[in-house]
Structure 1
Amino acid sequence: MSGAAGAGEEGKTVKYMILLYGSQRDYDALSGQPGDRPAMTPEQVAAMHAHMEKTHQALVESGELVDAQGLAAPAHARRVQLTGGAPVVTDGPYPETQEVLAGYTIVECASFDRATEIAAGFVNPDAPGEYVDVRPVVDGIEDLAG
């Protein structure tokens, strides 16, 4: 298996993207807006940011962090589709139950197992059902075959 999907050749590292998800209601709770879920307290928000900072700093120190970014709330998103060849734009937010990409972290490490181990650190153990996805980053079209 070549490139990104493989476990890495001897000494070769591979990039993996860890995808974090959320919904508009998650962003609302994060910003302190009450809704069908309680607003997060400033202490809870600070604890979440401290956890992310600690996790990313550990990846910097291990040399595995490539990039990490959070994304704006779904209320600030646009979905573009084609209908009859013409673009149709839908402004967010989308239905409250629909999760969207909330942020990502790209790591470069020796194996898919290591990337999975890193990803587990982003899942909140106090949030049943929360998940992240881990996907290899491809270097070229030859890496898409699978």
Structure 2
Amino acid sequence: MIMLYGSQQDYDLLSGLPTDKPPMTAEQVAAMHAHMEKVHQALAESGELVDARGLSAPAHARRVQFTGGVPVVTDGPYPETQEVLAGYTIVECASFDRATEIAAGFVDPDAAGGFVDVRPVLDGFEDLAG
């Protein structure tokens, strides 16, 4: 699974809401979408794409945690968290190295601090031991 990250501010930029960053132009948004479409199309054509989805903005998320044995629900976004999972792409490929190579295609080399995480998806609980 290739996990893509963003922030509430990134979602706001895409929505045209004011942020501390300069607003994205329609051309920049279109270029970003075109890039993602190109990467996913290539993966579909190679037979390596399993699934890919974007996630809603952190403002629409809820965190559930237990305090004193009682579930506490907090609405997002969460000020203590800058990066949040923004979407994912699941690939089935020959090796972890190939998955890492694919993941590099999602990172904008011109964006300082941009990153994705790559993690194997387990088939079941028995995989946790290995």
Bin of the TM-score, shorter chain as denominator length: over 0.9
- One-letter amino acid matched to 1:34: P
Alpha carbons of structure 1 residues 96 and 88: separation in structure 2 relative to 1, 3 Å:
closer
Using structure 1 for the length normalisation, give the TM-score.
0.85
1:138 corresponds to 2:122: yes
Take 1:87 and 1:98, find their aligned partners in 2: how far apart are those partners? 24
Tell me how large the CA RMSD over aligned residues is.
1.1
Q: Is the 1:20–1:132 Cα contact (8 Å) retained in structure 2? A: yes
Q: Is the 8 A contact 1:115 1:134 kept in 2?
A: yes
**TM-score normalized by the length of structure 2:** 0.96
Q: Is structure 2 residue 29 aligned with structure 1 residue 45?
A: yes
Percent of aligned pairs with the same residue?
85
Q: Which has the higher contact order (CA 8 A, sep 6+)?
A: 1
User: Stretches of 4+ moved more than 2 A in 1?
Assistant: none
CA drift of 1:65 comes to: 0.2
2-structure distance, mates of 1:97, 1:133: 17
Structure 1: stretches of 5+ with no match in the other structure: 1-16
Q: How many residues align?
A: 130
Structure 1 CA distance, aligned partners of 2:97 and 2:74? 38
| Cα deviation, residue 126, structure 1 | 1.3
